Amino acid sequence: MTYEQLFYNIKKKQSYLCVGLDTDINKIPEHLLKTKNPVLEFNKQIIDATQQYTVAYKPNTAFYESMGTKGWENLHLTIKYIKDKYPDILVIADAKRGDIGNTSKMYADAFFNKLNADAITVAPYMGEDSIKPFLEYNNKWVIVLALTSNKGAFDFQFIKENNETLFEKIIKKCNSWSNYKKIMFVIGATKASKLKNIREIAPDNFLLVPGVGAQGGTIEEVAEYGLNKNCGLIVNSSRGIIYADNTTNFANSAKENAFILQQKMKQTLKNL
Amino acid sequence: MTYEQLFYNIKKKQSYLCVGLDTDINKIPEHLLKTKNPVLEFNKQIIDATQQYTVAYKPNTAFYESMGTKGWENLHLTIKYIKDKYPDILVIADAKRGDIGNTSKMYADAFFNKLNADAITVAPYMGEDSIKPFLEYNNKWVIVLALTSNKGAFDFQFIKENNETLFEKIIKKCNSWSNYKKIMFVIGATKASKLKNIREIAPDNFLLVPGVGAQGGTIEEVAEYGLNKNCGLIVNSSRGIIYADNTTNFANSAKENAFILQQKMKQTLKNL
């Protein structure tokens, strides 16, 4: 998916919502456990219920890998379901991969060719050759961890050299390897006040913002500091939407919560 | 596997060799392509041929994920084959995972419970809560990326604050969260001269050292700077062993190359 297509979808839906498909078989409604493939059934119903308010879905690979081979199959089938039925929605494999060049190349093949994801999150620790293989695909996105939403973000990401933090250095270096039409950055909603400074060094990049809802961030704050002239934001909510309700009404509740977030986003997009 | 068991195996085999099972279907001998499951067949023959000289195997998940669901199944079957037949050999899932706490917990479940690996490599960028869930398992190992073997290592790992590099900070922090009986560090053989300084801050930890062979490092250099009183090294070779030969004689060639490395290692272990 191109930058222009993504921006077009955001304007059309008046939304920059991403729904995190962190599907845990121990948390899905009990009645689904009787179906042939509970995780896939849950995902399909969540996707159908929320797609009109959503510009991206983000399955986190950990939740699928913890279910073994069957889980990997479900990750594949979930992405296929989205791309077949709603091809204009961005699919982000939240995988946080990164390895030496010839190995990252295998990951890029796994996620872009075999799983057909539009985007993958990558960890920057191993530097240029760990990220470049992902950049060699047309119309695919690389989303680099910069400032994450968790408490552990303070352990290393704020280390400073020459008055510049590690996450700032990463943003600058990555943008020197490619540009805002291929690279996004992960910036946690729990660090929304930092978005102002980040916009100075990454004015044009899309920022993938997790941490709204269960983790404590708000749409209003993220929008205030993070929006740019082409929106430039994709804000993720996982638990607040997919586990809104664990009765037979779960998909409707997910839809309602997605709608509430989309309405807030629409307010912030008034000039687009 | 405990620290004591690992050290016992090293002394018994006079080896600290790890064989990297980075199995690429495009590189395995042609005659195997006629078998029912070429990747698994290749792995089994490599394992049987090299096990007497080997204290660890390290499948890199990228190579399996690039083969989709079948690849994940092969990763599972490869680990099962090793643990059933050679239970005293350490199995390292080279996965370089790391995510927010509740997600890292799913990865730990995936690799330690479902896949039954003894160890997993993790990326430190997201800090404490991304690593701690892996530390909660008894007799399992967490191997944290510190100084990697690739060129990109110079992009961020040497960033200095208060005269201390990022990789040094990571080693110290990780050892403050746990100890050398649970945590190892990845230190690339291509940076062997740094091992001397690293031993000052990590005197007791095992170091997993990739980069010998195809990437340019040597056993002698790594041993000179990296050995400690309980060996403290696991040195990996992948391509130099598993792709030594792509004829029907491949397993024998792998065995010979493993033997050559083991003999070099034995020389360096003269006091153990």
* Closest chain A C-alpha to B105 CA, distance in angstroms: 9
DSSP letter at B60 equals B
Give dist(CA B39, CA A210) in Å, integer: 38
User: B49 with B254: CB under 8 angstroms?
Assistant: yes
Residue B214 has pLDDT above 90, yes or no: no
Label each residue of B171-187 as H, E or C.
HHHHHHHCCCCCEEEEE
Structural domain harbouring A115: 3-268
Q: Given an 8 Å threshold on Cβ–Cβ distance, is A65 in contact with B110? A: yes
- What phi-psi label fits residue A147: left (phi over 0), alpha (psi between -120 and 50 degrees) or beta? beta
Decide if pLDDT at B191 tops 90: no
How much is the average pLDDT of A223-244?
A: 95
User: Are residues B31 and B65 in contact, defined by beta-carbon separation less than 8 angstroms?
Assistant: no
* Separation CA B111–CA B129 (nearest Å): 17
Q: What's the pLDDT tens digit per position in A33-65?
A: 999 999 999 999 999 999 999 999 999 999 999
CB within 8 Å: A125 and B109: no
Q: Which residue has the tokens 């660890």?
A: B56
pLDDT over threshold 90, residue B46? yes
- From the list B109, B110, B154, the residue facing A127 with the nearest CB is B154
The pLDDT, as a whole number, for residue B215 is 74
Q: Which helix (H) or strand (E) holds B33?
A: none
Residue B65 scores a pLDDT above 90? yes
Residue A271 pLDDT exceeds 80: no
Q: Are B190 and B157 in contact (CB under 8 A)?
A: no
Is A164 in the B-facing interface, judged by CB distances under 8 Å?
no
Q: Which residue has the higher pLDDT, A213 or B150?
A: B150
Cβ-defined contact of A150 to B169 (cutoff 8 Å) = no
pLDDT of residue B217: 83
How crowded is residue B2: how many other Cβ atoms within 10 Å of its Cβ?
A: 12
Report the C-alpha gap between A245 and A253 in whole angstroms.
6
Q: Is B266 on the interface with A (CB under 8 A)?
A: no
Asked whether residue B272 is assigned to any structural domain, the reply reads no
Mean predicted confidence (pLDDT) in A80-95: 98
Residue A158's pLDDT is: 97
- Report the C-alpha gap between B22 and B152 in whole angstroms: 20
Q: Taking CB atoms and an 8 Å cut-off, how many pairs form between chains A and B?
A: 182
Band of pLDDT at residue A75, cut at 50, 70 and 90: very high
User: Which tens digits make up the pLDDT trace of B160-171?
Assistant: 999 999 999 999
pLDDT in tens, A157-199: 999 999 999 999 999 999 999 999 999 999 998 888 899 999 9
Residues forming beta bridges with residue B160, ordered by sequence position: B165
Q: Is the pLDDT of residue B158 over 90?
A: yes
Answer yes or no: is pLDDT of B193 > 90: no
Q: What are phi and psi of B231, to 5 degrees?
A: 75, -70
Res. A3: pLDDT tops 80: yes
Q: Say if residue A114's pLDDT is above 90.
A: yes
Name every chain B residue with its beta carbon within 8 A of the beta carbon of A96.
97-99, 123
- CB contact (8 A) between residue B166 and residue A151: no
In this complex, is the C-beta atom of B214 within 8 Å of any C-beta atom belonging to chain A? Answer: no
Q: Does B76 touch chain A (CB under 8 A)?
A: yes
Compute how many other C-beta atoms are within 10 angstroms of the C-beta atom of residue A30: 10
B69: which chain A residues are within 8 Å (Cβ-Cβ)? Answer: 69, 72-73, 76
**According to the model, what pLDDT value does residue A130 have?**
98
Residue A218: other Cβ atoms inside 10 A = 16
Give the best residue of A103, A209, A242 to mutate against chain B (max B CB count within 10 A). Answer: A103
Q: Which of residues 46-65 of A touch B (CB under 8 A)?
A: 60, 62-63, 65
Contacts of A159 in chain B (CB under 8 A): 159, 161, 166, 169
Distance from CA of B2 to the nearest CA of A (A): 24
Whether A211 has a pLDDT exceeding 90, the answer reads no
| Record: contact A126-B152, CB cut-off 8 A | yes
pLDDT(B202) > 80? yes
Residues in chain B within 8 Å Cβ distance of A24: 106
Identify the CATH number of the domain in which residue A34 sits.
Answer: 3.20.20.70
Flag if B152 and A169 touch (Cβ within 8 Å).
no
pLDDT tops 90 at residue A80: yes
Q: Which residue of A has its CA nearest to B75?
A: A69
Q: Which of B83, B36, B37, B35 lies closest to B59, judged by CA?
A: B83
Please say if the pLDDT value at position B157 is more than 80.
yes
Q: In the predicted model, what is the mean pLDDT of chain B?
A: 96
- Provide the pLDDT for residue B124: 98
Pure H helices in chain B: 3-13, 38-50, 61-65, 68-85, 101-108, 128-135, 153-156, 166-177, 195-201, 219-226, 239-242, 250-268
Q: What's the average model confidence in pLDDT over A113-129? A: 98
**pTM for this predicted structure:** 0.97
Residue A40 tokens, joined: 């896939």
Neighbours of A51 (CB within 10 A): 19
Mean residue pLDDT across chain A: 96
pLDDT band at A66 (very low <50, low <70, confident <90, very high): very high
A58, A96, A182, A255: the catalytic one is: A96
Look up residue B19 and give its amino acid: V
Q: Does A68 touch chain B (CB under 8 A)?
A: yes
Count the domains in chain A. Answer: 1
CA distance A265 to A255: 15
How does residue B271 score in pLDDT terms, banded at 50, 70 and 90? confident
Residue A144 distance to chain B (closest CA, Å): 11
A177-181, B10-14, B47-51, B192-196, range with the lowest pLDDT: B192-196
B19, pLDDT greater than 90: yes
* Chain B residue with the nearest C-alpha to that of A113: B66
Q: Tell me the mean pLDDT in the region B105-114.
A: 97
A96 is catalytic: yes
